[in-house]
Amino acid sequence: MNKEQLSFHKSRRKEFSKLIGNDALAIVFGNTHRNKSYDGDYKFKQYKNFYYLTGFTEPNSALVIAPGGIKVTRSGKKNSVKELLYVQQNDERLETWNGKRMGYKNVKKSLGIENADINENLCKILHYNELKNFRKLYLNIAEMLKLTEEMKKIISEFIDSLNRIAPHTEIIDVSYILGTMRSIKTEFEINRIIAASEISIGSYNEILSILQPGMNEFEIQSALEYYYRYHGGDDTAYHPIVASGENACILHYEKNDKRLKENELLLIDSASEYNYYCSDITRTFPINGKFSNEQKQIYEIVLKANKECIKKTKPGVKFSSVAELSNRILAEGLFKAGLIKDKTKIRKYSLHGIGHHIGLDTHDAVPSSLTKNSDTDTLKPGMILTIEPGLYFTDKMKEIPAKYRGMGVRIEDVVLVTKAGPKVLTGGIVKEVKDVERMME
Ligand code: GLY
Ligand code: MN
Ligand code: MN
């Protein structure tokens, strides 16, 4: 881990400590493996709040933060510590099978966390007698309850005793407080989201030169995944959606197994992850390189909503009012095209909201609400959100003329809110009709 990353995670622990106060203890668990089938697991992914505070990507770990100090016994001595990371014990046999472990002795040097121990010893502080010394106990409760394997064993007694602890020590989930911190990105985080976006942009541009009728959706998916890795990405930010024709009307379509037809549109909603930070991009392309009149008509309406909403993504603006603007533009567009008579019915065709925060999670786990009176609705510098209007016409929508049916259009960009206005991080992929058609010639 480089100095910049060390100091980012350290600053997050410092800020978090300040927010929870001296009379609090926080235990934030890392993730454990998730079983895929029989004795095989899914690729390991760290819990994001734990990652935010540590940058540590091994399973079966837990971070303890005690701003006022907690007494722990190590090597026979009792010490008061303010931060302590519990990690997997070194184990030659398991490391041969599953990969190297950092080991508690290397934690301070590698992660900058002052104290460390093996995870089994976490049991020693998960006791009523220890915990009653604190007025508040912060846990990632929802995530803790999903832990598997060795961590499940380590915490099982503690979970059984929670009903005894709870009346004496207020138990609070860390998600809100960490989510609030996570809603404003630091420069370090912004740079990672920019990197994830740049990797994705490069990959989309590769796709534009190979896309043609007769290919299969999965060929595009595989090529994107290849290019993400090739350009330096670590993973896909989410399962790629490569949806041609009517498949684009399934919002989280994941089969990606249909042949691309000459006169249809292809909606690609996919992006790379870079060092745990996500991008999230959608573009809609004509498979044969040229939009039909009807496709262009719908595309231009969505593009207008995308561009106008991006312009409005500024400090002080309510995100709910950006959503309202999108619905107004989409409704007006369909009304003028003669496709709807009642503008209030727009949600039947626009299906989803205008966007969401993005960061460590694609749909970032930060407090947000489209309730007008909630402060989480107000945009602030350092927030990063998607703007992703869409219009969808299934084959079943017989009230819509046949030429418009069986298509979905969405255009999604990642936007950083700055004092100087919106900054689009995904602008390197064409979206104007003439530019798309030129790129596909
Ligand atoms: N890729 C999921 C979304 O756009 O929200
Ligand atoms: Mn999105
Ligand atoms: Mn998306």
Q: What is the pTM of this model?
A: 0.96
pLDDT greater than 90 at residue 78 = no
413 lines ligand 1 (CB under 6 A): no
* 135, 157, 181 - which closes a domain: 181
| Closest C-alpha to ligand 1, atom 5 | 363
Whether residue 127 is found in the same domain as residue 198: no
How many domains would you assign to the chain?
2
The pLDDT, as a whole number, for residue 368 is 83
Mean pLDDT to the nearest integer, 48-59 = 98
pLDDT, tens only, 289-322: 999 999 999 999 999 999 999 999 999 999 999 9
364 lines ligand 1 (CB under 6 A): no
Nearest CA to 253 out of 373, 392, 157, 79 is that of: 392
- Between 386 and 72, the more confident residue is 386
| Closest C-alpha to ligand 1, atom 4 | 280
Whether residue 177 is found in the same domain as residue 188: no
Q: How far is the CA of 168 from the centre of ligand 2 (A)?
A: 42
The pLDDT, as a whole number, for residue 128 is 85
Whether residue 320 is found in the same domain as residue 283: yes
pLDDT, tens only, 215-260: 999 999 999 999 999 999 999 999 999 999 999 999 999 999 999 9
Burial class (CB in 10 A: 0-12, 13-18, 19+), 392: buried
Whether residue 312 is found in the same domain as residue 433: yes
Phi, psi of 394 (to 5 degrees): -80, 165
The number of the ligand 1 atom at minimal distance from the alpha carbon of 238 is: 1
**Cβ contact 261:219 at 8 Å:** no
Mean pLDDT to the nearest integer, 151-177 = 93
State how far the Cα of 274 lies from the Cα of 200, in Å rounded to an integer.
Answer: 10
The pLDDT, as a whole number, for residue 372 is 52
The pLDDT, as a whole number, for residue 77 is 83
The number of the ligand 1 atom at minimal distance from the alpha carbon of 237 is: 1
Nearest CA to 208 out of 427, 413, 429, 426 is that of: 429
Single-letter amino acid, residue 268? I
Question: Which residues lie below 8 Å from residue 322, measured CB to CB, with a gap of 6+?
Answer: 309, 312, 313, 354, 355, 387
Mean pLDDT to the nearest integer, 148-177 = 93
Helix (H) / strand (E) element for 232: namely none
Range of the domain at 326: 183-439
pLDDT, tens only, 383-439: 999 999 999 999 999 999 999 999 999 999 999 999 999 999 999 999 999 999 999
What average pLDDT is seen over the chain?
A: 96
The number of the ligand 1 atom at minimal distance from the alpha carbon of 412 is: 4
Whether residue 265 is found in the same domain as residue 156: no
Single-letter amino acid, residue 174? V
Which residue's structure tokens are 């049991």? 123
The CATH number given to whatever domain includes residue 104 is 3.40.350.10
State how far the Cα of 324 lies from the Cα of 353, in Å rounded to an integer.
Answer: 9
Nearest CA to 248 out of 72, 391, 379, 402 is that of: 391
Whether residue 105 is found in the same domain as residue 231: no
The pLDDT, as a whole number, for residue 375 is 85
361 lines ligand 1 (CB under 6 A): no
Mean pLDDT to the nearest integer, 11-20 = 98
Whether residue 232 is found in the same domain as residue 166: no
pLDDT, tens only, 84-105: 999 999 999 999 999 999 999 9
* 127, 162, 181 - which closes a domain: 181
Whether residue 89 is found in the same domain as residue 111: yes
Question: Which residues lie below 8 Å from residue 225, measured CB to CB, with a gap of 6+?
Answer: 236, 240
Give me the DSSP letters along 275-304: TTEE---EEEEETTSS--HHHHHHHHHHHH
Among positive and negative, which fits the CA dihedral 273, 178, 310, 264? positive
Whether residue 148 is found in the same domain as residue 193: no
Q: List beta partners, residue 393.
A: 407
State how far the Cα of 298 lies from the Cα of 350, in Å rounded to an integer.
Answer: 12
Whether residue 176 is found in the same domain as residue 193: no
- Region of residue 121 (left: phi > 0; alpha: psi -120 to 50; beta: else): alpha
pLDDT greater than 90 at residue 55 = yes
Whether residue 267 is found in the same domain as residue 369: yes
238 lines ligand 1 (CB under 6 A): yes
Which residue's structure tokens are 């024709």? 245
246 lines ligand 1 (CB under 6 A): no
State how far the Cα of 296 lies from the Cα of 431, in Å rounded to an integer.
Answer: 12
The CATH number given to whatever domain includes residue 289 is 3.90.230.10
- What angle, rounded to 10 degrees, do the helices at 217-230 and 187-210 form? 140
For residues 302-319, b (16+ Cβ closer than 10 Å) or e, as one string?
Answer: bbbbbbbbbebbbbebbb
* 181, 213, 244 - which closes a domain: 181
State how far the Cα of 7 lies from the Cα of 17, in Å rounded to an integer.
Answer: 15
The pLDDT, as a whole number, for residue 130 is 86
pLDDT, tens only, 349-394: 999 999 999 999 999 999 986 555 568 999 999 999 999 999 999 9
Taking residue 77's Cβ as centre, other Cβ atoms within 10 Å add up to 7
pLDDT greater than 80 at residue 189 = yes
Radius of gyration of the chain (CA): 25
pLDDT band at 3 (very low <50, low <70, confident <90, very high): very high
Give the rounded percent of residues in the chain with a pLDDT score beyond 70.
99
Helix (H) / strand (E) element for 135: namely none
State how far the Cα of 26 lies from the Cα of 165, in Å rounded to an integer.
Answer: 14
Whether residue 167 is found in the same domain as residue 287: no
